[in-house]
Chain A
Amino acid sequence: MVIGGSHAAVQLVISLRQNGWDGGITVISEENHMPYQRPPLSKAYLAGDSSKEQLALRAPAAYEKLDVNFMLGVKVKRIDVQAHQLELDNNQTLGFSKLALCTGARVRPLPIPGADLRGVHYLRTMDDVTGIQQSAASAKTAVIIGGGYIGLETAASLSKLGIAVTVLETESRLLKRVASETTSEFYLRLHRENGVDIRCNTMATALEGDSAVSGVVCGDGLKIAADMVIIGIGVIPNTELASEAGLEVDNGVLVNEFAQTSHPDIVAAGDCTNHPNAILNTRLRLESVPNATEQAKAAAASICGLDKQYAELPWFWSDQYDVKLQIAGMNQGYTDAIIRGDKASRSFTVFYLKDNTILAADCINRPKDFMLAKKLILQAQPVDMAVLADETTELKTLITEQ
C-alpha cells in the first residue's frame, strides 16, 4: 500500500517491480488525477506552454504494465499499525503487509481576514492551477503573497499572460532564507524589468472584497487593488497519519538512510520525510522532485529486503522568464559568496563557501557551471577562491579526482 500519488509514489511502485516485488500494489491518493509532474505547475503549465497530457508522470499504459491499482480521491483516515490496516474515508478498510508513506506536503495557510474570498488561491496541485487559470482569464491585476521561488515563478507566469503583478515579501529582500544578496538582487531586477512590482518589507494583513477579492491591505496601511491573490508562503509536511500511528516525527516523518521509519513494515519518501544525508552530514527535510524520486528508490529497496542507501546531493531549479536557475547543494552556514561572471548580466554563478570549501552554487543561465559545481561540492576539498571568481580560468582545473 502506498499513501500519496505523486513523484515519490510513482518512482516507488516502479522500483518495487524492478526489484522483483510480485505482490499487489495499491496507490491511494486524495487527488482526483493520475500522478502528474508538479514543478511545471507554477512554470510552463500555468503560463499555458504545456498541456495536461504533457504533465502526466507516466502514460496510463505504463501503470497497466506495472499492475498497479490506483484509488483516487480517497483519503486515509487512520493507519492501524497493530492490525496492519488502513481505514479510508469511504469507510473501506484495507490490509497491508508493507506500507509506504508518500504523503508529501500541503500549503501553509495564511491566517488573515479574507483569505477565503473567491479569487484567492494557493499553488500546490493541478486543481489549484485550474482555479488560478479561471481567475486569470478575467483578471487584470494580481497580488502574490510570498517572494520565494513559487511566488516568483507564479509572478513570471502571470505576467506572461498580461496580468499586472505585485509581489509582497515580508523580509527585506526576495529569497532571503535561501539565497545570497546577489541572487536576490538579480531576481528583483529581472522581475522589475518585466514589469512586476516587487515590494519587500511588506506584510499583507487582510484581503478585501465582497464575495470575490478586490484588494490587499498591507501592514503599513497601503491598499493594493487585486482581481486575484496567490499565497505562496511555504508548505507543511503531511505527518499526521504517521504521528497518530505512533511513528517518530520531527519536522517530517523520521526515516533512516534506507527510507525506513521507526516501524519495520513502514517506509516513507519525499517531501514528508526528515532524513539523514551522509554528504551534508545532517538531517533535513527537502521539497524537491529529485529527493522524492531518489529516496523512493531506497524505500522500494527496503520493502524488498534490499539495502540501497539514499545519499544524494540536493539540487533544485527554477524557471522564470527566459532565465534558468540551477542550484547545487545547500548553502546553510556559508561564510563567503563568490561571484563568477558579471552579476549585472543574465549569466553568472554564485558559489557559497565555508572554510574555502564549496557548499552550494546558484547557477543563473550557466548549465556548465552547474554540472561542475556538483562535482566540486562532492569533492569537498578547499579551492582557490581567486580561480572561482576568475572567468579566464577553467573551473575544470579545480577538479582533482577521476
Chain B
Amino acid sequence: MPVINYIEADGTEYSVNVAEGVSLMQGALDNMIEGIVAECGGCCVCCTCHCMIDPAWSQAAGSAAADEAEMLEMVDDTEETSRLACQVKVTAAMEGMVVRLPESQY
C-alpha cells in the first residue's frame, strides 16, 4: 500500500497507507484527517476535498477533468497542482506523495 503524506494547513503531518484504487479523499477520511471535509462523499459535486499535490507527484496524479477544473476555478486558495481529492485514485506511482490541505477547509 503506497504511503501518502498529508499535511494539514496548520502543519500537522500524517503519513498513512492508502490502498491502490482508493481516492486521496477516502484515504484522508479513513485516517480522520480534518482538512478534507468531503461533504458529498466523493461525487465531485461539493468542492470540499480540495488539496494541493506536491509538484514532484503531479504527473502521477494526472490532471483535472472539465467539471472538476471548473469547480476549482471558483475556490480562492488554489494552486497550479490543486485537485479534488475524491477524483485522484491512488496508484503505485504515488508512493511517498505529499499532499497539502488548504486553510479554507477548516
**Interfacial residues, chain A to chain B (CB-CB below 8 A):** 7, 14, 17-18, 37, 39-40, 57-59, 61-62, 65-66, 289-290, 293-294, 315, 317, 319, 324, 326, 365, 367-368, 370-372
Establish whether residues A17 and B32, one from each chain, have CB atoms under 8 Å apart when the complex forms. yes
Contact between chains at A317 and B40 (CB < 8 Å): yes
Contact (A14, B32) CB under 8 Å given A367-B71, A368-B73, A372-B74: yes
Contact with A along B67-90 (1 / 0, CB 8 A): 110110111000000000000000
- Given A62-B32, A367-B68: 19 more A-B contacts, CB < 8 Å: A14-B32, A37-B41, A39-B41, A65-B31, A289-B39, A290-B40, A290-B46, A293-B39, A317-B40, A317-B45, A317-B46, A326-B45, A367-B45, A367-B67, A367-B70, A367-B71, A368-B70, A368-B71, A368-B74
B9 at the interface (CB under 8 A from A): no
4 pairs of A and B residues whose beta carbons are closest in the complex: A371-B74, A59-B30, A317-B45, A368-B70
Cβ of A17: which chain B residues have Cβ within 8 Å of it? 32
Least CB separation from A371: chain B residue: B74
On whether the beta carbons of A371 and B43 are closer than 8 Å, the reply is no
Q: Which residues of chain B have C-beta atoms less than 8 A from A315's C-beta?
A: 46
Option from B31, B39, B70 in Cβ contact (under 8 Å) with A290: B39
**Least Cβ distance of B33 to chain A in Å?**
11
Q: Please indicate the chain A residues that have their CB under 8 angstroms from the CB of B41 in the complex.
A: 7, 37, 39-40, 57, 289
How many residues belonging to B are interface residues under a CB distance threshold of 8 Å?
Answer: 21
Beta-carbon nearest neighbor of A43 in chain B: B43
Cα distance, A14 to B34, chains bound together (Å): 10
The answer to whether A324 and B40 touch across the interface, beta carbons within 8 angstroms, is: no
Asked if B29 CB lies within 8 Å of chain A CBs, one says yes
Measured between C-beta atoms, what is the minimum distance from A55 to chain B in Å?
9
Contact yes or no, A66 B43, CB < 8 A? no
Q: In the complex, what's the smallest C-beta–C-beta distance from B51 to chain A, in angstroms?
A: 17
Interface residues of B (CB under 8 A from A): 26, 29-32, 34, 39-43, 45-47, 67-68, 70-71, 73-75
Q: Knowing A324-B67, A367-B70, A371-B71 are in contact, say whether A317-B43 is a contact too (CB < 8 A).
A: yes
In the complex, the answer to whether B34 meets A319 with C-beta atoms within 8 Å is no
B31 in contact with A62 (CB, 8 Å): yes
Most chain B CB within 10 A, of A14, A37, A66, A326, is at: A326
Main secondary structure of the interface of B (DSSP, over half): loop
B42 to chain A, nearest CB (A): 8
Chain B residues, CB < 8 A from A294: 39
Q: A7 to chain B: which residues have CB within 8 Å?
A: 41
Q: Give Cα A65–Cα B32 distance, bound, in whole angstroms.
A: 9
**Between-chain CB contacts (< 8 Å), 10 pairs:** A57-B41, A58-B29, A59-B30, A65-B31, A289-B40, A319-B43, A365-B67, A367-B74, A370-B45, A371-B71
Q: How far is the CA of A382 from the CA of B47 in the complex (A)?
A: 26
- Given the interface pairs A290-B39, A368-B70, the reply to whether A18 lies near B32 with Cβ below 8 Å is yes
- A363 to B: closest C-beta gap in Å: 10
A371/B30 contact (C-beta < 8 A), A289-B39, A289-B40, A317-B40 known: no
Find chain B residues with CB under 8 A from A65 CB: 31-32
Please give, as numbers and ranges, the residues of chain A lying within 8 Å of B30 by CB-CB distance.
58-59, 61-62
Residue of B nearest to A366 (CB): B70
Quick one: given A326-B45, A368-B70, A371-B47, are A66 and B40 in contact (CB under 8 Å)?
no
Q: How far is the CB of A308 from chain B (nearest CB, A)?
A: 13
Residues of A within 8 Å of B39, CB to CB, are: 289-290, 293-294
Q: A58: which B residues are within 8 A, CB to CB? A: 29-30
- CB contacts (< 8 Å) of B29 on chain A: these are 57-58, 62
When distances are taken between beta carbons in the complex, the residues of chain B under 8 Å from A317 are: 40, 43, 45-46
Contacts A18-B34, A62-B30 given; indicate if A40 touches B70 (C-beta within 8 A): no
Cβ–Cβ < 8 Å partners of A40 in chain B: 41, 43
The closest CB in chain A to the CB of B48 belongs to A290
Chain A residue with Cβ nearest B19: A59
Q: Please, how many angstroms separate the alpha-carbon atoms of A17 and B26 in the complex?
A: 19
Which residue of the partner chain B has the closest CB to A294?
Answer: B39
Task: Report the separation of the CA atoms of residues A159 and B36 in the bound assembly, to the nearest whole angstrom.
Answer: 35
| A66 → chain B closest CB, angstroms | 7
A117 to chain B, nearest CB (A): 34
**Min CB gap B24→A, angstroms:** 14
The residues of A that contact B47 with a CB separation of less than 8 Å are: 371
Which residues in B have their C-beta under 8 angstroms from that of A326?
45
Chain A residues within 8 Å of B73, by CB: 368
Chain B residues in 8 Å Cβ range of A367: 45, 67-68, 70-71, 74
Shortest beta-carbon distance, B53 to chain A, in Å? 20
